Structure 1
Amino acid sequence: MITFPNAKINIGLNVVEKRPDGYHNLETIFYPVKLSDALEVIEADKTAFSSSGIEIDATPENNLVYKAYSLLTGDYDLPPVKMHLHKVIPFGAGLGGGSADAAFMLKVLNDYFELGLTSTQIEEYAARIGADCPFFVQNKPTFAHGIGDQFKPVNLDLSAYEIVIVKPPFSVSTPQAYKNITPAKPEFNLQQIEKLPIEDWKAVVKNDFEKSVFPQFPEIEKLKNQLYEAGAVYASMSGSGSAVFGIFRHSPIDLDRFLPEGIFIYR
């Protein structure tokens, strides 16, 4: 069975407060995009994991796809499987690729072996893998809060626009992104975004991580500005970076001339 785990972008990201447990409460919009990995699962004599595409710098047992399989085998008598992941979604980019892979693995195993799990039950398993992992079960525009693990549906449809994702040839770690972050109550309620024309987003829909990441990585801020120069109606860093996305009314022509060499472009 083959499935295609897709990435997400964060439209707005507010770091609201630091919690007593050391984590931070966030508010953001998760929006699914077309950029996808490919995941194949077949029965085998022995459980094995392989990959292609972007190199995965981890042992098979530490990959989230493998962890999803191991999680279900703890409760169900699943046979051995061969897993192959073709990796396209970049790491350290704020696009949720690893979480998507794990969530889609749970869904594939549920369908392939007819486990009969409901979406809610799959989400409960996914939450044990990562805070944003359950989002990819329903895979619909969502307002996320708490540590990014509490969800409310959002009536947001960007299908009439083209979303372009660009990424510099480096990643941003979460600790780097949190450096110099000062939690604060946001001025704009992201749950109201569906009522706001996209032309007005630039003034009020902010990613708080940009204030921390841009001084450390000015190349990322430059990419955002270049997307605006190319005609984006809205542009932002996704999550904690390093990817930046632009939302265009029409497909941008000659986008390459606005961007420096070595930049990865996903459309």
Structure 2
Amino acid sequence: MTRYFAPAKINLGLSVLDQRSDGYHSLHSLMVPLSIGDELEVRAADQLTLQVEGAALSAGPDNLVYRAARAYLDAAGLQQGAEIVLHKQLPLASGLGGGSSDAATTLMALARLYPAGVDLRPLAERLGADVPFFLLGQAALAEGIGERLTPLAVQRLQVVLVNPGVAVSAADAYRWLDEEEGYTPPLDLDRMLASFGQLEQPGEAGQAPILNALQPPVSARHPEIAEALTALREAGLHAPLMSGSGSTCFALAASADQALTAAEQLARQYPAWWIQAAHTVSSPLIQGL
């Protein structure tokens, strides 16, 4: 079997401009992939099968990996299948894009296993708003409902991620935002990007215009998230923020050593939490597709 890495992502900023007439939301978000994520093993087979390890997830047609594989095989007009093993290492419903990344990785892996000239982008868009981002595989400004992507150059950032064990559905997060009409203006990208170079200057990065419009309504209903943000701040890290619809929170470190030290400290303080040090990545997931 060939093994593939499916990276997590964080939203370094997430502005929700408004709710559209179709019920979706207009976004303005800076998204970056990370050095941590799930893994998949894929090999050719007569039938399509999926096995999930590390999480209590369905391995049937309602699983996003299965749906992605089925979509590619059908688009390519193939009678063959594939044997896929998904190794879940990211927490579920955590704002890290794990399911979307797994789906994108599946599309790219099958395109390598069975080259057929299939355009993966339309398949990705039908699977979910974040799936095209993981096809791109690098930092990008996401607009529209997340499907309009503009690649951006973002320096490597060291981060510490904390998940306090709360699952938050994106549907709930956006519904709570709509109830409060907590819409926000577009991100100030120039100031945000400039602030990432100021991490060694105490206080500077913490004053950067970094925000997540979903954070107030979600953290108001899940105090564990507010606790996680406070823990990151008290660990000496910069600009604590909730990622996506939550519940994972992250903060920036000035160095890899600081990130590792802070992650170890937090793990001792909060042994029940999922805590990781990581860094952002810029190279595509699978080259040559």
* Alignment root-mean-square deviation, CA: 1.9
User: Is it true that 1:234 corresponds to 2:232 in the alignment?
Assistant: no
Residues 13 and 187 in structure 2, CA contact (< 8 A), matched pair in contact too = no
Q: Which residue of 2 aligns with 1:77?
A: 77
Q: Which residue of 2 aligns with 1:122?
A: 120
User: Is it true that 1:260 corresponds to 2:270 in the alignment?
Assistant: yes
Q: Which residue of 1 aligns with 2:193?
A: 194
Residues 88/257 of structure 1: CA separation in 2 closer, same or farther (3 Å cut): closer
User: Is it true that 1:172 corresponds to 2:155 in the alignment?
Assistant: no
Q: Which residue of 2 aligns with 1:28?
A: 29
C-alpha distance in structure 1 between counterparts of 2:106 and 2:260, whole Å: 34
Q: Give runs of aligned pairs for residues 79-94 of structure 1, distance below 5 A.
A: 79-94=80-95
C-alpha distance in structure 2 between counterparts of 1:26 and 1:93, whole Å: 19
C-alpha distance in structure 1 between counterparts of 2:50 and 2:143, whole Å: 33
Aligned length: 261
The farther-off stretch of 197-206 and 208-217 is 197-206
Q: Which sections of structure 1, spanning at least 5 residues, go unmatched?
A: none
Q: Which sections of structure 2, spanning at least 5 residues, go unmatched?
A: 278-289
Q: Which residue of 2 aligns with 1:157?
A: 155
2:14 aligned counterpart, secondary structure: strand
Residues 260/11 of structure 1: CA separation in 2 closer, same or farther (3 Å cut): same
Q: Which residue of 1 aligns with 2:134?
A: 136
C-alpha distance in structure 2 between counterparts of 1:176 and 1:67, whole Å: 23
Q: Which residue of 2 aligns with 1:182?
A: 181
C-alpha distance in structure 1 between counterparts of 2:267 and 2:84, whole Å: 39
In the TM superposition, residue 195 of structure 1 has moved relative to its aligned partner by: 3.0
Q: Which residue of 2 aligns with 1:225?
A: 230
Residues 65/257 of structure 1: CA separation in 2 closer, same or farther (3 Å cut): closer
In the TM superposition, residue 183 of structure 1 has moved relative to its aligned partner by: 4.3
C-alpha distance in structure 1 between counterparts of 2:26 and 2:241, whole Å: 20
Q: Deviations over 1:88-141 (max 9, x none)?
A: 111110000000001011101111112234xxx222221110011001112100
% identity of equivalent residues: 32
Kindly provide the amino acid, as one letter, of the partner of residue 255 in structure 1: Q
Match of 1:244 among 242, 249, 252: 249
In the TM superposition, residue 149 of structure 1 has moved relative to its aligned partner by: 1.4
Residues 223 and 259 in structure 1, CA contact (< 8 A), matched pair in contact too = no
TM-score, length of structure 2 as denominator length: 0.84
Residues 59/162 of structure 1: CA separation in 2 closer, same or farther (3 Å cut): same
1:186 aligned counterpart, secondary structure: coil
C-alpha distance in structure 2 between counterparts of 1:11 and 1:145, whole Å: 14
1:4 aligned counterpart, secondary structure: strand
Kindly provide the amino acid, as one letter, of the partner of residue 251 in structure 1: A
TM-score, length of structure 1 as denominator length: 0.91
Residues 47/252 of structure 1: CA separation in 2 closer, same or farther (3 Å cut): closer
C-alpha distance in structure 2 between counterparts of 1:12 and 1:206, whole Å: 5
Residues 6 and 34 in structure 1, CA contact (< 8 A), matched pair in contact too = yes
In the TM superposition, residue 156 of structure 1 has moved relative to its aligned partner by: 0.7
C-alpha distance in structure 1 between counterparts of 2:166 and 2:226, whole Å: 14
